[in-house]
Chains A and B, each alone.
Chain A
Amino acid sequence: MQKKVTNITFNPGFKENIYYPEVFRGLWITNRHFFVNMWRHTLNLFGIRTKVRPAVTYQYPEDPRPAHYRLRGRHRLTEKQNGAMRCTACMLCETICPCDCIHIVPGESPDPHIEKFPEEFTIDLLRCCYCGFCVEACPVDAIRMDVTRTEMAGYTRDIILTKELLLGKVKAHPWENWIAEGVEEKAG
């Protein structure tokens, strides 16, 4: 295959060469925001013009920002009233998942009234694009994505949610455990 090479030459003209005015314009914008917001905060403090809201800084993570109620966070598997998993391992979520990140190993359930259940249910979270299709596809409302679970950083490339993690049987709060020990040991 032939490679296509395009040469781009950039010849700064007079307008680009005198960039000092732009530097000062930037400083002017920053300062305007600062003083306008300070002015509004001061007015709000005295109960004046409370309808105009000044910019706010959230003290994350101690003071998390409120999320929209339809935000799609980390997955959770739901349970029936008797504590059994709702999931029947129909694999519709695995089918619809555009990122190939759900992996289910179905098996014969120990409960004679239930035929099929997932022996393993793993989500490779780093592949997930949070589209929420799995939640839509599930015929028995077994998988949900929670608004509050948005913290998913870690120092590992194997952020793999296992069945126990998804069911909440293992408590693994991201800040405390994932970074410190890695998910796998927690899930183990």
Chain B
Amino acid sequence: MYNSLSSRRNFIKKMAQLSAMTAAAAMFPGILFASEQEAGIPNSANLDWKKGPCRFCGVGCGILVGTENGKAVAVKGDPNCSVNKGLLCVKGYHQTMCIQSKDRLTHALVKKNGKYVKTPLNEALDIVANKMKSTIEAHGKDSVAMYTSGQSTIPEGYVASKLMKGAIGTNNLDCNARLCMASAVAGFLTTFGADEPMGCYEDIDHADYFITWGNNMAEMHPVLFSRMLEQKTRRGAKIIDFATRTSRSSTASDRSILFEPQTDLAVANAICYEIINNGWVNKSFVEKHCNFSKGLTNIGYGTEDKFNFKDKPEKIDFAAFKAFLNDYTPEKVEKYSKVSAKDIKYLASIYGDPNKKVVSYWCMGMNQHTRGTWMNNLVYNIHLLTGKISQPGNGPFSLTGQPSACGTAREVGTFTHKLPKGVVMNPKHRALAAKIWKVPVERIPAKPTYHATEMFRAVDRGDIKFIWTQVTNPLVSLPKTSRYRPAMEKDSCFVVVSDVFPTPTSDVADVILPASWHIEKSGLYGNSERRTQHWDKMVEGPGETTPDAWMTIEVAKRMGYGDLFPYSEENHVEEIYNEYRQFHEGAKHGMAPLEVLKKESGAIWPYVNGKSTQWRFNAKYDPACKEGSDFDFYGKPDGKAVIWQRPYEPAAESPDAEYPFWLNTGRVIEHWHTGSMTRRIPVLHKAMPEAYIEFHPDDAKALKIRDGENIKVTSRRGSCVLPASVNKRGLPTRGQVFVPFFDENMLINDVTLDAFCPISKEPDYKKCAVKVEKA
């Protein structure tokens, strides 16, 4: 396809085509053009098609990459992959075009006298290892840190964890999935005692209603959204969009219901109130399978350094829970949520109807929330009260953003408190890790250290003196980069950045390591539906580019831990996966063997007796359930899930006289996160060349702001100038502005607030107070 783009005319044709497709996408959210994928594929008999997962989002579509003479020349959807059945979104079928970007990092760069000097990789790895070692010698093992990614492959995450926790003996490892999935994890653990969704994408084929909670799936999970639209057309399934902003998803839904930021907590409680007061509770399910608990309230926002919080769960009974909900009648909640009592009752009636199957979907709206864990708990409450869970077409489904936030960050456990199985606080889990890693158990510390935000605060304070980031761009994606950019520039911390392209994060690095891109290495990802996906290396990377896993291993060897990393360069992916699988052996989390993953387009864990488990906790589908049970929430010792009493509490910062607008940030369909890849794909970059600030037309009119005019948006943290967008892609509610964060030239995270959920430690990127003025 790239040959055809080489001439200007063909490029212009492609642009014309893409403009039309983008226009179509505005009219028909979720629209797909499968034949377009085939259009540019050269008529060559020599194309060799290799399967893998898409590089970008957590949907985990199967792709086929056509290679010819060692180059990737085409991408199409894998018709054999049940996730996407041959479909891909616009990012998916253009993905490999970034590899050829002219500014690709092909060699290691070491900063000498303020200038980057091209350095042989071996030398650069020596420098990294020596620096890490000498820092530990001088300042202790907790002075070094690694910050990885939900886009790291499973082997990459695994060796990072083994190096930090098993070899060095520090829990200073966290990852960017903290910024997107930590509340989902904490929600799962508090309610079910086991992470990740119980259902799978096949739920879409069975549900009567899809209720999306603060989730613009048409742009963020486009292939799943198109599957939902198909069911809407074919079977009359209904989509209800519950959000703070009218998006492409809202316009394609049957109903769009808008709420005031943060009041989703109150609305979810009001839905439970209605369910109980209308007698819609599935009593036998609740009696058999649920406990009731409450936790601490007024739990803070984490905006101060070294913030500490530990919840204190306390058992309550159904009567207490019912009494608590009296504060959340629809009539009371409508006053501050701006959702009419009628709409709240409508939502409750959908969940309450025993003859309707309902799936709830959410992603960043609920997770990036200062009460994100609570919000996840509350949606589980609704499904547990009605018994609509763990059955085809009935269930709560937390979607992931990144392609391996589940597979790597959550399952391998690249968080400070995690191990590949379980948590560092649990002596049994430490013992298992020590046994498999062949290290003394005392070496693995029992206390978590820094979660993502606190890790960069520690860099700023000078407590962390060495940090190595892999597959992530924190100086665009962290909240309040206005603090963390100067922090990373300080001489007190030695910064190593592994990446494929230069980014604002690599700009502050002391050493830049040239990483292999997705198809230039073998790897494994795990998507939102617990599907583990493998791919083989498809093309050679340029220069000295090397897989991150191998660079970590090389540094470990240089630091003297060679015996713990006995892998071979050719087969390290396979060897690491086989070692890692031992952690999850058993019916509750068994992973498919590599031979299966090589043949199939992924397999869903628990993989038991040669079969994927599609619905966990339901004895009909899940062999891990206790014999004789119908449902068994076996993550909890007594097999019962927890219905949590969680109140509404306000946001960390709300609009006031000085800063009168809510700022909400997010993504657009054309770009992947901080744009470091998609902004190097010409058609995607041209389709969405720069960020913008979106206004409600009434606010724009009152402020005399015209579309395209430059606007300065300012918070207590910093400011950013962007062109105004009025009546274009999305429509924020009055009093709210929306800014996408993909554009490194318009750093909206200089403006955002680093408040987080005290339980999950995930920051809230959706709510802070700003003022706007013409620039």
Question: Is B truly associated with A?
Answer: no
